[in-house]
Amino acid sequence: MTKCIAFHSYKGGTGKTTIASNFAVLLAKKGYRVFLMDLDVYAPSLQAYFEKEPRKWINDFFWSNAHIDDVLVDLTHIIDENNSSSPINGKLYVSFCNPKKEEIYKLDGGGKQDNSKI
């Protein structure tokens, strides 16, 4: 059964992104198939943790410029830090939100796009 876990706090800088990132890696190491999504759309920071420039952002999915599969970056290889011989059974997919200010402006209707997916 698929479970959805949200890390949320009204207060900023309290460790939401740090905990979500570490929790996702731990679950993948335990054998779960994990899809970590940055939905902190007004101040995304997941990219800073994984140092990855995705081909497509979750914003592209919002604006119907990408299929959901296109915004999933398979980062399973990073959890096998020791290149261990025991296989990692889980999967870690991450989707990143675009931190550029034009993209954040668009989320507020600044671009007049259809925002039904948001």
Ligand X SMILES: Nc1ncnc2c1ncn2[C@@H]1O[C@H](COP(=O)(O)OP(=O)(O)OP(=O)(O)O)[C@@H](O)[C@H]1O
Binding stretches for ligand X (CB under 6 A): 12-18, 40, 43, 45
CB of 88 to Mg ion, least distance (A): 26
The entry of ligand X, Mg ion, none near residue 5 (CB within 5 to 8 angstroms by kind) is none
8 contact partners, CB below 8 Å, separation of at least 6: 16
114 contacts 66 by C-beta, under 8 angstroms? no
* Closest distance to Mg ion from the beta carbon of 29 (Å): 22
* Binding partner of residue 64 among ligand X, Mg ion, none, CB cut-off 5 to 8 Å per kind: none
| Binding interface with Mg ion (CB under 5 A) | 16-17, 45
Report the distance separating Cα 100 and Cα 97, nearest Å.
9
The Cα–Cα gap between 71 and 61 comes to: 7
